[in-house]
Amino acid sequence: MLEGITSEAFIKGCSAIGAGIAMIAGIGPGVGQGIAAGHGAAAVGRNPGAKGNIMSTMLLGQAVAETTGLYGFAVAIILLFANPFI
């Protein structure tokens, strides 16, 4: 009545766990972008004349930081929907 787990079910379960772990990669960019935005706002408050340079540098840094979260999201989607191990 109680059958053993199949290898396909085991792979799907491990892939779901791996997808969850991959999504943890979104925490770092979120924290980093918040810190960068806070420091950028403080810098503009200290020197409003340099707003253009500060904002462009901050946005470039945030775009680079966001790629880590996007890579984690892509890995999670691949593991869940286009599983290469099955």
Is 30 in contact with 66 (CB distance < 8 Å)?
Answer: no
Task: Report pTM.
Answer: 0.74
Segment 29-81, tens digit of pLDDT? 888 888 988 999 999 999 999 999 999 998 898 888 888 889 999 999 999 99
59 CB-near residues (< 8 Å, 6+ apart): none
Segment 19-38, tens digit of pLDDT? 999 999 888 888 888 898 89
Phi/psi at 2 (5° precision): -95, 110
Measured CA to CA in angstroms, residue 53 lies from 4, 32, 42, 65, 76 at distances of: 62, 19, 14, 18, 36
Domain ranges of the chain: 25-81
Fold of 25-81: F1FO ATP Synthase (1.20.20)
